Structure formats: C-alpha cells, structure tokens
Structure 1
Amino acid sequence: AATMDRTAACSLWIILALVAHTGLSSSPPTGKEAWSYVEVRNGAHMFWWLYYADSLDLPLVMWLQGGPGGSGSGFGNFGEIGPLDGDLKPRKTSWVQAASVLFVDNPVGTGFSYTDRPDGYATDVATVASDMLVLLQHFFTGRAEFQSVPFYIFSESYGGKMAAAISLELTKAIAQGTVKCNFAGVALGDSWISPLDSVMTWGPYLYTTSLLDDHGLEEVSSAAEAVKQAVEQQQFQKATELWSVAETVVEQNTNGVNFYNILTQEPDERRASVAGEDFVSLQARRHVRPLHEQSLSELMNGPIRKKLGLIPRNVTWGGQAEDVFSNMAGDFMRPVVDVVDQLLTAGVNVTVYNGQLDLIVDTMGQELWVKRLKWEGLAGFNEMRWTPLDDPMFPGVTGAFCKTYKNFAFYWILRAGHMIPSDQGPMALQMMRMITHQV
C-alpha cells in the first residue's frame, strides 16, 4: 500500500534550507509537490515525486528514465525537465510550466526505489509493467483530481522500452476498469525499442559522420553481426554481452566517441573495461553511473533526502542501480516493436522522437524499425513529407522536423544527442506542448 504520502507547498523556507545546506543560491519556485512510496510487490517499494502545474487544465506527464537503473527523480528531475537544475536554480525550460510532472524511480531498485530482498528486482519488461500498473492504480485512486486530466507517458532511452510495455498494460487496465485515468498517449524518446537496429547502424552512422575509417567500419560491423546472430538465435543474455563488446570496438576505433553525443568524447573512466571487470559492471559504468554523477548523488542523498523525509535509513539514492541493470540483462536486447504495433492498432497516440547526434539509439536505427511496423497507417505515414519546426530560441533556424499521421508522430530533433531536454531544452519543451496539444 501507499505509505507516508507527503504533500507540501514548495515554500521559501524549504529552498532556504537547501541553500543553507549546499551553499548555493536560488529563487523559490511556486507550486505544490507530493511524493510517496508504493509497495508494488511484497518487499518491492517504488518511489514517486509529483510537481503540480499551476492549473489542472494542463496535462499530467509521467517521465521514465533509462538505464535500466537511471533515476527519474534525480537525473530527469534535476538534469532535464524539473523546476530546478542541479544547482537548485530555476530551469527556464522546465516542463512543469506546461504540465504536472510525475517522476517515478522505475524499475524497483532505481533511485530512491528499493527492494528488501535479492529476488525483488524485475527481470523483464513484463514485471516492470505490472509493477507500474500497481503504482498507477494507487496514484489515480489517491489523487482522483487527475483521473480526468489527459495523462501522457514520456520516456528516454531504455525508459522508452518500458514505457511501451507499460502503455499497453495501462490501456488494457483502463478498458477493464481497474485503473481510472484519461490516458492520452506515449512518447518514446531515443528509445531502446529495437536494440539490434541500433547496433547494426552504429557503423554506417559513424562512417558517414567521419568517425570511422574503412578499417573501423569493418571491425564495428563485424562486432554488430555477432550481436545479430545471438539475437536471431534468441540468446539474449549472450547478445547483451556481445553488445558490450561492440561498444568497446566502437570506442577503440573512434578514440572514445561519446555514445550519447557524437560531437563529444567519452571520459576516460567510462571507456574500456579494467582487468577483472565483468560486462555488467562495465555497462553500468558506461550507462547508469553517468546518470548518478557525484554532484547529483550528493544532492539527492543530502538536502533532497532531508527534504523528502521518508527515505528509509538503509536506502541510498542509486545504491541498487547496478543490481537493477544486472537483473534486466537477459531482457535487455529483446525488441518490443510488436508492442508499439499493438498500441497503434489499439488507437493509442504514439510519438517517436530522436536526437540527431545520438549514437547509442541513432535515428537511422529508429527509422528502420518504424518502417517495419505492421500498423495499417504506415503507408500513409511514409507518403507524407516532414514539416520543419523553428528553433524557439532562433526564429528562422530549423530546430526539428516532424511528421504526424493519424495516431503516430515522429520528431527529428536537430543538434541534440541522447538526452534531448538537456541538449535542446526549448525545442524539447515546444515538442512536449505540441504532443500534448497545447500548440
């Protein structure tokens, strides 16, 4: 059951307390917050944190982070779309100005979420979806004012894979009457929907952007082919291990290109494995720990923990993140393209959006799986020309392209890597407003 629900006006004294603790300066935001835990399974506790918009006429957006093991309450909140940034200063492009925003530390063990025992972690997206359904049942029952508010799920990276599965289960639950909410759509950002399509396009993408030579292209393509064979043989744990090998081959041939933005270089500490390190630890160092950098960890385990007032003493923010990743490793390379097809066929509004400079989930790979959809509207979508969108900060300069047909949309976000809201905050905010029909 939900425990220790805390609701608070984000008043001046709270911010001043944070400032006094951190030595940082900030202005207090207006608005109301709420946070709590839900025990989604015996011994499995999921944390959520809600920021209210100024009006219930605005939609409700749930944000799901990637990893798996990346924390929405931490990185998504303070690093991307929340009202305050990591220095506790107001964010001009916060999504809270256009929606109530619900951050959920998902799967169990992520961020402030935790499990009491080793077998409490999710091992596949089916469990992730069923856990989230329990949380949403509690949330919409306890906060009935949101039952009629348009509800959207926005996601990033592996969060998109989870969001697709969650959206399908939520659609079924609404039809069955077990969850009361106004589900209006799901947005899949740089999402791990078809892992193999991403891996198979790494080589061509890097080659066309002058980040691989002919020898490098051959080596990366060979490593990707090994991943493909494992996936085709349904050896998904092996495929995950070979995916890690392929990343190392990419790093070696590009002098450490950053998988999250090809215009930058990967820090040395995230590169190839050290002696005795297994692939799970390596991948956690590459893709989970960057979401838990030291400054954010100190913020979450210090003043934020104190503000929330309900985190158990034995729980550390991010402390179980690597275990989350490890337990999901066998499911990591499984595609969920069929789930997206089911959502579209059921009439759910689905949006795909991707950053131009992202490598790990490059746009080339996204377009490949989209073109294989069995959705009856695909031919009509493919016949359309995209529409250019001005960059909100630079009128007359294209910031993105978009294409919408029936209940499917695709946004190509220019000059953005994997974390679009942190790379192109104004464009991301405008996109969110368009998806939620505010523009």
Structure 2
Amino acid sequence: MGLLGSGCRLLFLLTAVFNKGLLSPVTGKEAWNYVEVRDGAHMFWWLYYADSPSAGFMDLPLVMWLQGGPGGSGSGFGNFEEIGPLNRDLEPRKTSWVQAASVLFVDNPVGTGFSYTDTPDGYATNVAMVSSDMLVLLRNFFLEKPEFQSIPFYIFSESYGGKMAAAISQELTKAIAEGTVKCNFAGVALGDSWISPLDSVMTWGPYLYTTSLLDDNGLADVSSAAEDVKRAVEQQQFEKATELWSVAETVVEQNTNGVNFYNILTQDPDEKSSSSAGEDFIALQTRRHIRPLHSQSLSELMNGPVRKKLAIIPRNVTWGGQAEEVFSNMAGDFMRPVVDIVDQLLTAGVNVTVYNGQLDLIVDTMGQELWVKRLKWEGLPGFNKLKWTALDDPASPGVTGAFCKTYKNFSFFWILRAGHMIPSDQGPMALEMLKMVTRQA
C-alpha cells in the first residue's frame, strides 16, 4: 500500500487565520499525508517537528499520540485541545509537547478525524485490525521520514487509545524484530486507558460513593448495573456487555444528577438526562464520548481553516464525519480486556508507563490499580514494595502535582487534580511527565 496525495509538505512558518481574524504563527517544520492502509482505507497523519530553543529535533524523541473513543481525532482534539503547538483559538500553547518532542498525530482507527474509508466494510472491528493498519502506516512513515528511524520513538495515548496503543506496541515490537519496520521503539505510555474495561465499571460505584457523589441507594443501583456488565463479560458476550455498559452509565447519570465522566468535579447540565426515546446505545455513546471530542467550535476549525491549510483532504471527506461508524464497528471488541498484552510487553522488556487522572471517572484510578495488581510480570512484587515519590507541580513549586513509582521497565503516575484529559487539566504536570518518561528529566 503506497502513500497517497502530493500534499505532504514542510513549513517553516504557518500563519493560520481563525474566524476572529487573528494571526497566529507556528514556528517549526511540519508534515502531513495520507497512507492507504488497506484497499479503500485511508489514514491521515500530521507531524510537528520538535521546536525547542535548546535542542534540535534529532536530539529529542518522537512521540505518536493516539486519541480515544474509538473515533476521537488526535489531529483535532489531541492537537488543538491538549498537546499541540496551538490551542483551539489558534493561540500558542505554553505546555505544548512540541517543545520537548516531535509529535505525530494519527487519526486512528480508519474513519476517525480526517481518516476515511471508501466502503462500509473498510472500518476496523477489533484491536488486531487496528494494529495491522497502524503497522502499515508506521512502515510508510519511517520510510518517508528516514531521519526519524534512529530517534527514540514513544507511543502516548489516552482512553481507548491506550487499549489500541498496547496492541500496536506488541505488533510493532514483532515487526522491528522481523525487520519489516525500521524505528527505535522506546516505550508506550497508557493514559487513563481502557485496558481492563470491567475493572473500570466495577469501581465506578465505590469511587463515586467515597467522593460523596452517591448515597447508599445510588451505590446499590450502580453496583447492580455493573454486575450485569460483569456477567456479560464473563459469558464472553462482549457486544451485549457494551450495551450494558451504556446502561450502567445511564444509571450513574441518574443517581449523580449528571456527573461528568471525564472529571467528577464538573457537570454538564445538557447531559443530566438519560437517553432520549428511540436513541440506541451507539448513538448515545457517540453523544457521550465522541461529541465532547468534536465540539462545534473544534469542528468548525478543522473543517474550515485547518482543512484549507492541509489542502489534501478529499472533497467528500468531513472531519469527524465517520466517527459514529468507527465506534459502531468496534462495539463487539469494546469491552474486551488487553491486560495480557501489557503483561507480554513488560515481559518482553518494553518500557510501559501507566498514568491516570485523580478526578477521572470513566477510567478511574481504582480500576487501573486493580488490573495492575493482577499482572503476571515477574517484576510486580518489586514494584509493589516501592513507596511512591511525590512530584512537585511545575506550575506551583512546593505543591504536589503527582506521585510516581518506577521499577525496572514499568512506571505508574498518579496525576492529581486532573480528570480524563490530563494534558488539558494539568498541562505543566503532563509536560513534566513526558520529559520523565522520555528520559529528559
């Protein structure tokens, strides 16, 4: 499968015009392109070369960012809402990861963001297919950009992106050993990641109860709904489990008066009610978990100035236009755990980092700790014996911003005062974590 389009270009200066008429320069080189990963299945990537006053890009790592959903766009949300050089208003971001690494955003799986499929059967249906597609993209990327083949390459992820990142890392490790992909893979970081869905769902009730967001009756309701999900998973009825997961979320909303799944200290009044009449669970989950990543203002930016700047997006492709189909096609795989893959990565010597936000509900830290404690990795007893280390918040010296623990090739970061989107909630701490993971601090 070859590269498509002649729109890949490097820019030393981008002047972006937003609807307010403001001019916002982005210094540093960029590149973007499409890769046809399967017949009729096209994936979009966007690279920002590291732009640091103290080091050239060859002296800094390459980080690939994978968004969640599945169906959330890294080129959109991850870029303009979390870690890219500009925010959604096209103003420079002080905590952009581009100052510490070259950053590669990939709209993954096929159909996400600017990625698209020509046919209804072109969507990925499980993480194995997602991994296969990504390996084609990475093979092409490192061939097109040979200057990055020797640079330490890390995969950072968020939410469902973490589940995909684990599977991709496993296949990438094999491909490097076989010589089919040439790169210097240095590790994977799993942020608020959907590694063990059931552990997340089963801890929603206890977490909300201990934070005074459920009373005894509410705890009973949420726990009962979670048990329904558990039975379906244990019976290997994963599509049913996904539907029951959606029901459990509705029970949480009803009993908490609409708590925000991405940050328990916030509430969206528009999301207090349960699903509307006739709304199926796919539409409901799109509304709950994809739409927040595709706000109207972000969609206008991506389908307006950004689309015009990129100049390679086909006329029939709308940013985010196939997101619901992406989620729908992955529904049968959604509740499957990938803890065994993380175990295999650790055993193979791959550097694995888990990081989680204190205020996240959808992937709460309690659930993350549960699956970590069940790892079969031989280093786990040593990891468990360690006491965590307090890290100062770079934005508030003397104030704890996180705790961390590292043993051999495994690290865990507990990020304080952050929800599901850690770089958005605690940008300075997220940037500091990036530097630590990539051995720059």
Normalized against structure 1, the TM-score is what?
0.98
Deviation at 1:29, TM superposition (A): 2.3
Deviation at 1:22, TM superposition (A): 1.7
Which residue number corresponds to residue 45 of structure 2?
A: 48
Name the CA distance, whole Å, in 1 between partners of 2:388 and 2:91.
36
Name the CA distance, whole Å, in 1 between partners of 2:205 and 2:72.
26
Secondary structure, aligned partner of 1:29: strand
Contact 1:270–1:286 (CA under 8 A) maintained in structure 2:
no
Contact 1:26–1:90 (CA under 8 A) maintained in structure 2:
no
Contact 1:124–1:328 (CA under 8 A) maintained in structure 2:
yes
**Matches of residues 327-342 of structure 1 in structure 2 within 5 Å?**
327-342=329-344
Deviation at 1:268, TM superposition (A): 1.4
Name the CA distance, whole Å, in 1 between partners of 2:342 and 2:43.
25
For structure 2, the residue ranges without an aligned partner over 5 or more in a row are none
Contact 1:164–1:186 (CA under 8 A) maintained in structure 2:
yes
Deviations 1:311-333, CA, capped at 9 Å, x for gaps: 00000000000000000000000
Deviations 1:94-120, CA, capped at 9 Å, x for gaps: 000000000000000000000000000
Deviations 1:384-427, CA, capped at 9 Å, x for gaps: 00000000011110000000000000000000000000000000
For the aligned residue pairs, the C-alpha RMSD in angstroms reads 0.9
Which residue number corresponds to residue 32 of structure 2?
A: 35
Deviations 1:292-322, CA, capped at 9 Å, x for gaps: 0000000000000000000000000000000
Which residue number corresponds to residue 343 of structure 1?
A: 345
Name the CA distance, whole Å, in 2 between partners of 1:46 and 1:62.
14
**Matches of residues 406-421 of structure 1 in structure 2 within 5 Å?**
406-421=408-423
Deviation at 1:25, TM superposition (A): 2.5
Secondary structure, aligned partner of 2:353: strand
- What is the identity, as a one-letter code, of the residue corresponding to 1:31? G
Secondary structure, aligned partner of 1:132: helix
Which residue number corresponds to residue 126 of structure 1?
A: 128
Name the CA distance, whole Å, in 2 between partners of 1:10 and 1:305.
19
Identity among equivalent pairs (%): 82
1:8 to 7, 10, 21: 10
Contact 2:32–2:47 (CA under 8 A) maintained in structure 1:
yes
- What is the identity, as a one-letter code, of the residue corresponding to 2:231? Q
Which residue number corresponds to residue 207 of structure 1?
A: 209
Which residue number corresponds to residue 315 of structure 2?
A: 313
Deviation at 1:68, TM superposition (A): 0.1
- What is the identity, as a one-letter code, of the residue corresponding to 2:132? S
Secondary structure, aligned partner of 1:22: coil
Which residue number corresponds to residue 186 of structure 1?
A: 188
Deviation at 1:8, TM superposition (A): 2.6
Deviation at 1:267, TM superposition (A): 3.6
Greater shift in the superposed pair: 251-260 or 267-276: 267-276
1:257 and 2:259 equivalent? Answer: yes
Contact 1:402–1:410 (CA under 8 A) maintained in structure 2:
yes
Deviation at 1:191, TM superposition (A): 0.1
Contact 1:391–1:400 (CA under 8 A) maintained in structure 2:
yes
Name the CA distance, whole Å, in 1 between partners of 2:32 and 2:19.
22
Deviations 1:325-346, CA, capped at 9 Å, x for gaps: 0000000000000000000000
Normalized against structure 2, the TM-score is what?
0.97
**Distance 1:62-1:368 versus aligned 2 partners, 3 A rule:** same
Name the CA distance, whole Å, in 2 between partners of 1:6 and 1:177.
26
1:92 and 2:94 equivalent? Answer: yes
1:435 and 2:437 equivalent? Answer: yes
Deviations 1:246-274, CA, capped at 9 Å, x for gaps: 00000000000000000001341474111
1:425 to 408, 424, 427: 427
1:234 and 2:236 equivalent? Answer: yes
Name the CA distance, whole Å, in 2 between partners of 1:360 and 1:24.
38
The count of corresponding residues between Structure 1 and Structure 2 is 434
Name the CA distance, whole Å, in 2 between partners of 1:176 and 1:157.
30
- What is the identity, as a one-letter code, of the residue corresponding to 1:181? C
Secondary structure, aligned partner of 2:27: coil
Deviation at 1:10, TM superposition (A): 4.4
Greater shift in the superposed pair: 54-63 or 309-318: 54-63
Secondary structure, aligned partner of 1:264: coil
Contact 2:253–2:272 (CA under 8 A) maintained in structure 1:
no
Contact 1:297–1:317 (CA under 8 A) maintained in structure 2:
yes
Contact 2:7–2:310 (CA under 8 A) maintained in structure 1:
no
**Distance 1:25-1:5 versus aligned 2 partners, 3 A rule:** closer
**Matches of residues 234-313 of structure 1 in structure 2 within 5 Å?**
234-269=236-271, 271-313=273-315
Which residue number corresponds to residue 73 of structure 1?
A: 75
Deviation at 1:136, TM superposition (A): 0.2
1:23 and 2:20 equivalent? Answer: yes
Contact 2:354–2:412 (CA under 8 A) maintained in structure 1:
yes
**Distance 1:342-1:5 versus aligned 2 partners, 3 A rule:** farther
- What is the identity, as a one-letter code, of the residue corresponding to 1:40? V
Contact 2:263–2:359 (CA under 8 A) maintained in structure 1:
yes
For structure 1, the residue ranges without an aligned partner over 5 or more in a row are none
Contact 1:259–1:266 (CA under 8 A) maintained in structure 2:
no
Name the CA distance, whole Å, in 2 between partners of 1:322 and 1:189.
23
- What is the identity, as a one-letter code, of the residue corresponding to 2:439? H
Contact 2:258–2:272 (CA under 8 A) maintained in structure 1:
no
Name the CA distance, whole Å, in 2 between partners of 1:336 and 1:103.
23
Q: Which portions of structure 1, spanning 4 or more consecutive aligned residues, are displaced by more than 4 angstroms?
A: none
Which residue number corresponds to residue 354 of structure 1?
A: 356
Contact 1:10–1:28 (CA under 8 A) maintained in structure 2:
no
Deviation at 1:280, TM superposition (A): 0.4
Name the CA distance, whole Å, in 2 between partners of 1:270 and 1:57.
48
Greater shift in the superposed pair: 306-315 or 2-11: 2-11
**Distance 1:160-1:271 versus aligned 2 partners, 3 A rule:** farther
Contact 2:71–2:324 (CA under 8 A) maintained in structure 1:
yes
